[in-house]
Structure 1
């Protein structure tokens, strides 16, 4: 080991010695791209069992995946206010909500898409009830894409087909082959707590309370999770992907202190007995924002596809009430209409 390396290692050791007891050193960024060998199943990462035959029978008797007819009359009231993307520089962090879990995230001079779904219709789901809030033609060059998991409302082949094949893509463990089969050439697969770096922006893959499945034979064959993006200024955005509420949020907050903005799901939660383990309700999303120590929260995963039985506007009214009940500053709840943007103050 050279003198410079030993000096850096000594400084790093000293920093760890002075750090709080809860300090967890972050993983060194992995090289971009490259094939990796993964286990055949990630079922051991589940934090709750998947529904069994008894639950499926109950759902067949009484379950519903659409709001009641009277609630559907409120679709016209869903917030939709598309506007131009904000001007940014390399020190600016800005987010624009395209709908569902799709964000145009500007950080460290990069434009990053999260779970991009610009299609009007996805397999097994009624057509979207609000259009994509950001026109595809209005996007700047896309510098990277992050994917949380392989469900069709988060991994949309027609949308991804629009991207150049050399777009850097960051995906959960086991999902890289899906992209390389479609000729994407810069695909980086990560396990939980692993990281990669692109042009000064760090991409950390973190756990979620969810699962994966895309066909009849691939349950939990690929991993699921969220992403923490950090720029050179130390500004941090947490994209939770799709997740239920649970212990991982506190651990994420412990490892990544100073999260400036948490993008958290608030919809697709009713019936609760069926969806609680994999989808936060609005009150749980607010609790998750507090658990990770986020300074601000932007709700997502609602107002786009009607995936469950809650009334269409209920996620918004409940998240606002939960935020207020928690005594949090109103300006720190970024409850954006589909298509709107917000810029982090430096």
Structure 2
């Protein structure tokens, strides 16, 4: 990647410095986290050992990043929860993970859909939460230190310790602006943890990106299904595309509170009022016990059962791009 610094800086707000966050955000949990008995039961049934026999069917394309004008919004799926989002003239990374493997999980099934060196520039990064498959230290280390970074409450210090100088921390329903694009941090049904004693010490959520006078894109990060989608739609009407997780949902008794299945993702898209669903969080890492390509099959079936136009389901291959042109 071109290491030349982007001249863009987040709009300054009183939230950027000196804010005292709660010691933990456990009061934001939708449901209680799994206990010791649940963890032992998960180990007995096999834990995160996905059926990887169908990984040769994971769709992959190597189209490269499209060149688009500022009036066009384009999404390129790199893999897992990583997109290159081109919106309002900015190039934004979501939960960037270019590492071949992350702690405790087998190496990724296929390489990233875009080579890191091909990014050329990155104007901003949005982080949904601090789990290792969404906050990847080796990838973050490769970014220029004046990249604009938007993170959940109480996660900013993690970046500042690594030398990042344009870090914006937000609570739910708060916003900041960069280059005319608005970044709104919104709730998710999930949690946070990175070490042995930091459960829920930082917040988690999704992002709504709004171009000036243009498109609106929603990145859910990691989330279970629940009441937040309707509220997000009410506060941010006119979402054009929803990037929603469809994988890492089995066994259901364990994953339901924090990971949607494909049918729930389709319902979430309906509640968000978004015409397009861009699927993610599948086909990259062996995290749970469903077969590797089952999420794709199920989301296509659920989309058809909901009567949605087939072309509006952005069931992207790794490395594939789709675009929203100006009206």
Asked whether the two chains share a fold, i.e. TM above 0.5, the reply is yes
Q: Distance in 2 between matches of 1:113 and 1:209?
A: 22
Residue 24 of structure 2 is aligned to residue 41 of structure 1: yes
Instruction: Report what 1:67 is aligned to.
Output: 50
Deviation at residue 201 of structure 1 after TM alignment: 0.2
Instruction: Report what 1:10 is aligned to.
Output: none
Residue 87 of structure 2 is aligned to residue 87 of structure 1: no
Instruction: Report what 1:121 is aligned to.
Output: 101
Residue 86 of structure 2 is aligned to residue 142 of structure 1: no
SS at 1:219's partner residue? coil
Alpha carbons 2:88, 2:214 under 8 Å: kept: no
Instruction: Report what 1:236 is aligned to.
Output: 216
Instruction: Report what 1:12 is aligned to.
Output: none
Deviation at residue 140 of structure 1 after TM alignment: 2.9
Instruction: Report what 1:262 is aligned to.
Output: 242
TM-score normalized by structure 1? 0.89
SS at 2:177's partner residue? strand
Q: Distance in 2 between matches of 1:32 and 1:132?
A: 34
Gaps of 5+ in 1: 1-27
Deviation at residue 92 of structure 1 after TM alignment: 1.1
Instruction: Report what 1:24 is aligned to.
Output: none
**4+ runs of 1 displaced by more than 4 Å?**
none
Backbone CA RMSD of aligned residues: 1.3
Residue 24 of structure 2 is aligned to residue 54 of structure 1: no
SS at 2:314's partner residue? coil
The match for 2:279 among 299, 315, 335 is: 299
Length, aligned pairs only: 316
Instruction: Report what 1:245 is aligned to.
Output: 225
Deviation at residue 338 of structure 1 after TM alignment: 0.2
The 3 A distance-change label for structure 1 pair 95 and 331 is same
Alpha carbons 1:225, 1:240 under 8 Å: kept: yes
Alpha carbons 2:71, 2:214 under 8 Å: kept: no
Instruction: Report what 2:7 is aligned to.
Output: none
Instruction: Report what 2:6 is aligned to.
Output: none
- Structure 2 counterparts to residues 1-346 of structure 1, below 5 A: 30=13, 33-68=16-51, 72-346=52-326
Q: Distance in 1 between matches of 2:204 and 2:316?
A: 25
Q: Distance in 2 between matches of 1:33 and 1:140?
A: 27
Alpha carbons 2:79, 2:280 under 8 Å: kept: yes
SS at 1:264's partner residue? strand
Deviation at residue 217 of structure 1 after TM alignment: 0.5
SS at 1:106's partner residue? strand
Alpha carbons 2:152, 2:171 under 8 Å: kept: yes
SS at 1:59's partner residue? helix
Deviation at residue 283 of structure 1 after TM alignment: 0.2
Deviation at residue 295 of structure 1 after TM alignment: 1.3
Deviation at residue 141 of structure 1 after TM alignment: 1.0
Deviation at residue 31 of structure 1 after TM alignment: 5.4
Q: Distance in 2 between matches of 1:31 and 1:341?
A: 37
Q: Deviations over 1:192-245 (max 9, x none)?
A: 000000010000000000000000000000000000000112310000000000
Q: Distance in 2 between matches of 1:96 and 1:87?
A: 11
SS at 1:331's partner residue? helix
Structure number with greater Rg is 1
Q: Deviations over 1:288-319 (max 9, x none)?
A: 00111111010000010110000111000000
SS at 1:229's partner residue? strand
Deviation at residue 345 of structure 1 after TM alignment: 2.6
Alpha carbons 2:175, 2:183 under 8 Å: kept: yes
Alpha carbons 1:98, 1:104 under 8 Å: kept: yes
Alpha carbons 1:29, 1:194 under 8 Å: kept: no
TM-score normalized by structure 2? 0.94
The 3 A distance-change label for structure 1 pair 52 and 324 is same
